[in-house]
């Protein structure tokens, strides 16, 4: 990272000068009030090496997200669990404080339950409807060195 004033590439400090927060080198930071040191970003060579080990191109960085999804065969699971307990849809709906039409819709597959409703069904019927799913998103990371330029952002038209 470079100093906002002189452009030197060294350890930077978050510095307040006349009400503005700037990232400054130690020489320029003397002009204002130093708020704290800034951690440098990860080394680009290390990033490339890590991505190569993971089998990804160097310009892709992987971002992982864990989400909750409803099991695709939720209708069959709910219906079998309810019938196993010998309950009618009407009685079951009253026990979980939901409408009978909602229970019918879930069991026929016309209505996918929300996560809170699925959790309620899981607790009452002692089943698993909500699954953890890990999504991987690739995002572009600049592979070159130095500060970002307009050329890095623009797409040339021919």
Check whether 12 has a pLDDT greater than 70: yes
The pair of three-digit structure tokens given for residue 84, joined into one six-digit string: 């196993």
34 — pLDDT class (breaks 50, 70, 90)? confident
**What are φ and ψ of residue 52, in 5° steps?**
-65, -40
Q: Which domains does the chain have, with CATH numbers?
A: 1-41 (no CATH), 68-134 (1.10.260.40)
User: Across residues 125-130, what is the average pLDDT?
Assistant: 92
On average, the pLDDT of the chain sits at 80
Report the pLDDT value the prediction gives residue 67, as an integer from 0 to 100. 83
For residues 37 and 31, is the Cβ–Cβ distance under 8 A?
A: no
**pLDDT tens, residue by residue, 40-78:** 666 666 666 665 555 555 455 556 677 888 999 999 999
Between CA 75 and CA 127 the distance in angstroms is: 12
Of the ranges 2-6, 69-73, 88-92, which one carries the lowest mean pLDDT score? 2-6
Residue 75 has what pLDDT? 94
- Cβ-proximal residues to 146 (8 Å cutoff; 6+ apart), any chain: none
Give the model confidence (pLDDT) of 94-112 as tens digits: 999 999 999 999 999 999 9
């Amino acid at each position: 990272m470079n100093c906002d004033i002189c452009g030197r590439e060294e350890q930077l400090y978050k510095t307040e000068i006349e009400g503005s927060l700037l990232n400054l080198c130690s020489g320029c930071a003397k002009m204002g009030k130093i708020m704290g040191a800034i951690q440098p970003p990860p080394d680009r060579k290390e990033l490339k090496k890590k991505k190569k080990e993971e089998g990804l191109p160097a310009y892709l960085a992987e971002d992982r997200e864990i989400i909750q999804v409803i099991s695709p065969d939720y209708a069959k699971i709910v219906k079998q669990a309810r019938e196993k307990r010998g309950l009618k849809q009407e009685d079951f709906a009253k026990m979980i404080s939901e409408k009978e039409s909602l229970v019918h819709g879930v069991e026929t597959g016309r209505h996918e339950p929300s996560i809170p409703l699925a959790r309620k069904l899981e607790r009452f019927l002692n089943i698993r409807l909500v699954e953890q799913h890990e999504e991987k998103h690739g995002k572009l990371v600049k592979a070159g060195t130095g500060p970002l330029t307009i050329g890095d952002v623009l797409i040339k038209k021919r």
